[in-house]
Structure 1
Amino acid sequence: MNDTPQSKGGTARANQLSAEERREIARQGAQARWRPANSPAVDSSLPLATHQGKMTVGALDLDCYVLEDGRRLFHKRGMARALDMKSGGGNVFMRAMRRKGLGSELDQKLVEKIENPINFKPLTQDLGHGYDAEVLVEVCKAIIRADDAGKLSASQIPLASQARILLNAFAKVGVTALIDEATGFQEIRRPDALRILVQQYIEVEKREWEKQFPDDYYDELNRMYGSRKLTTTANGAVIQNRPQHFAKFTRSYVYHPLENGAVLEELDRINPQINARGTRRDRFHQHLTKGYGIEKLKRQVQEVLTLMKVSDTTSQFKKLFGKRFPQAGTQFSLFDD
């Protein structure tokens, strides 16, 4: 009887579970045994997760969720993993926050959130316990404050290093944006949420000009359009050929796909045309955040450059682009070949 496929499968599954996960399953089993037959397995009033996924931060994979009311959560056990605590259990995280030194840097409001995790219904199990994503950010800040004040014990020092890594990862990106990307919620979020995300792209102050488009980007454009790679200025200088219609191409195929045109709309607002020729005071990329906006721009430039290299004509490029970015829709009509 012990060698049945079912028993072997159960044993294999149990071996893959953490100690906390096994305790949670046992607890739920006990509740089920003592629950009246007609009672629901889970409180129907619990908020439901509509999206879930894993956020990758360095070597970490953190379980994250978006609830039906728009809250973004990390699973309780992920809080310990995020801070590189050895056991990785949610209860270990809570005990660490109560320890002298670190606990003194937690304000009462944050303590109450830590002591009262959010119960919710994930997509793949009956019950989950989580924290609002901003709790992790605030905890990281508290750990760093405690470290700067010399309040951490020797065993807590590694927490400060991990907290700094996490804050650097979240800098300019926003934990909400990361969760939306990890769970796929960015595809359907409300317009007000999108406006919040757009601000992750935009720098408060204009940055100094730095080259963001490689020379081969324009070389490929010249090849695809059949134009010369080099041109001569009025004073006799030989420079790379960059006709005006290249700017329209870049607008359509590099900037517009960033959040489906929302980032381009904001860039148009803060950096408008100043004359009939379409001149602007700054380059668009000077208004993008270095930690998030510029990285997204570089990724899109590389995508477009790859498609150009395998295209013989602009028509062929547009077809390939349409397959790679179907959400771009009617942007192809912005300019003629």
Structure 2
Amino acid sequence: MNDRRKGGEARAKSLTPDERKAIAQVAASARWGKKEVATDLPKATHQGKMIVGEVELDCYVLADGRRLIHKRGMAKALNLKSAGGNAFLRSMTRKGIGSELGQKLVEIIENPVIFKPLTLDSAHGYDAEVLVEVCKAIVRADEGGKLTNSQDFLAAQARILLNAFAKVGVAALIDEATGFQEVRGPDALRLLVQQYVEAEKREWEKQFPDEYYDRLNELYGSKRMTRTSTGIVIQNRPQHFALFTRKYVYHPLENGAVLDELDQLNPKVDRRGNRRARFHQHLSFDYGIQKLKRQMQEVMTLMAISDNVSQFKRLFQKRFPQVGDQGDFGLE
């Protein structure tokens, strides 16, 4: 077997059934003299992976502005056992859910968009709002008692997705995931920041583990534990740790834009710099808290490989060169 044939077979095995089907359709059209099908496919200008909770979905922005989610991502988003696009179609056409979709939405689901991603010849996808409408239909079916016990997980997942999309919508999530936000309108940053924050504070939940402060004490060469004026032994968390957290954990979230919003929502209330709540109590659970945790983990990793604060700062600047000048920082 020659190298070209081996390479072709390896590539074929790496493709999903939907991708192989799309490529076959383009090839068939070309054989019948309809080459314009291949050249006229709408093209993606941006692509990336949208993270919603623990689900990661391939998403795209087309040259005409449409935001698409890959067909197989629709099944993945709903936690279907099979991640293939056909599993999504089968589930949506079953009696309970299908009765709530409406004929127009059913036709859209049965006719996905064939387009050209940046890295493949062709693929199938759906307008991102289709996922939103499908979730709404699933919830309606659940509230109407039309789902079976085996479909309860669909209703639970649909509500999770709708909650995640509620603040600014699925389009904003895709724009961030694909980098399209960098070239779209001036409201992009404002919309993105809204995904991070909640006007009403949530109940306090521990977000920074003890290990985070242990590593800070190691970094600064300070004692891990300290004794209060009443004689109680507690973990050592001097005030400059709050400055560190503000500068290296919160500020990198959209290069200070999220921190500015948090300062307005949760201002200082006295000369000592105290605030009514912790900043993380104003972060949205499905988006803001997840971003905070990822940034905190980045910082903890850098602390673990640094011998002192100076080395940490050098490594941080190398890891996050885009952060730039962070100016003066008050306490969290």
For this structure pair, what is the TM-score category when the shorter chain's length is used for normalisation? 0.7 to 0.9
**Which of the residues 26, 34, 38 maps onto 1:28?**
26
Mapped partners of 2:229, 2:178: distance in 1: 53
The structural deviation recorded for 1:110 is 3.9
CA distance in 2, matches of 1:59, 1:266: 26
**Pairwise CA RMSD:** 3.8
1:60–1:82: 8 Å Cα contact kept in structure 2? Answer: yes
Task: Name the residue aligned to 1:195.
Answer: 190
Report what 2:153 is aligned to: 161
Name 1:310's counterpart in structure 2: 305
Q: What corresponds to 2:99 in structure 1? A: 104
Provide TM-score, normalisation by structure 1. 0.77
Distance 1:325 1:222 in 2: 23
1:206-227, CA deviations, whole angstroms, 9 ceiling, x for partnerless residues? Answer: 1122332233433443443344
Counterpart contact for 1:49–1:122, Cα < 8 Å: yes
Contact 1:134 1:175 (8 Å CA) reproduced: yes
Give the letter aligned to residue 88 of structure 1. G
Aligned to 2:205: 210
Q: CA deviation at 1:165?
A: 3.2
Q: What are the Cα deviations for residues 176-216 of structure 1, in whole angstroms up to 9, with x where unaligned?
A: 56545654556766552332232222234211223322334
Name stretches of at least 5 consecutive residues in structure 1 with no aligned partner.
none
- Structure number with bigger Rg: 1
Separation in structure 1 between the aligned mates of residue 174 and residue 259 of structure 2, nearest angstrom: 22
Instruction: Establish whether residue 242 from structure 1 lines up as the match of residue 237 from structure 2.
Output: yes
| 1:259-270 pair list within 5 angstroms | 259-270=254-265
SS in 2 for 1:329: coil
How far apart are 1:62 and its partner, in Å?
4.0
Q: Using the alignment, how far apart are the partners of 1:292 and 1:127 within structure 2?
A: 31
Would the aligned equivalents of 1:42 and 1:127 in 2 still touch at CA under 8 Å?
Answer: no
2:269 corresponds to 1:271: no
Say which of 242, 248, 255 aligns to 1:253.
248
CA separation of 1:273 and 1:112: change in aligned 2, threshold 3 A: farther
Distance 1:334 1:170 in 2: 36
Q: Find the counterpart in structure 1 of residue 286 from structure 2.
A: 291
Counterpart position of 1:48? 43
The letter for the 2-side match of 1:31 is S
Shift of residue 277, structure 1, vs aligned partner:
3.4
Cα drift, residue 270 of structure 1:
0.8
Distance 1:87 1:318 in 2: 43
Determine helix, strand or coil for the equivalent of 2:191: helix
CA contact (8 A) 2:199 2:265 kept: no
8 Å contact kept, 2:52–2:164 = no
Q: How does 1:27-176 map to 2 (within 5 A)?
A: 27-35=25-33, 41-43=38-40, 47-55=42-50, 62-68=57-63, 70-80=65-75, 82-83=77-78, 84=80, 88-89=84-85, 93-94=88-89, 97-107=92-102, 110-111=105-106, 113-114=108-109, 117-152=112-147, 158-162=150-154, 164-165=156-157, 167-168=159-160, 171-172=163-164, 175-176=170-171
CA contact (8 A) 1:143 1:159 kept: no
Deviation of the 1:31 alpha carbon = 2.0
Mapped contact 1:217–1:305 kept (Cα < 8 A): yes
Asked if the contact 2:19–2:123 (Cα under 8 Å) also holds between the matched residues in 1, the reply is no
Contact 2:225-2:233 at 8 Å conserved across structures: yes
The size of the alignment, in residue pairs, is 326
Q: Alignment partner of 1:331: what SS?
A: coil
Contact 2:136 2:158 in 1 (8 A): no
| Matching residue's letter, 2:288 | G
Deviation of 1:299 (Å): 2.8
Amino acid at match of 2:203: E
After superposition, the C-alpha distances for 1:43-65 in whole angstroms (9 at most, x for unaligned) are 2xx65312224557799764321
The one-letter amino acid paired with 1:250 is T
Does structure 2 conserve the Cα–Cα contact (< 8 Å) formed by 1:42 and 1:126? no
Question: Could you list the per-position Cα deviations for residues 58-105 of structure 1 after superposition, in whole angstroms to 9, with x for gaps in the alignment?
Answer: 997643212345543112344345553759345x74565455432321
Structure 1 position 297, deviation (Å)? 2.0
Spell out, residue by residue over 1:11-58, the C-alpha distance to the aligned partner (whole angstroms, 9 max, x if none): 454455555444433321232234378x68422xx6531222455779
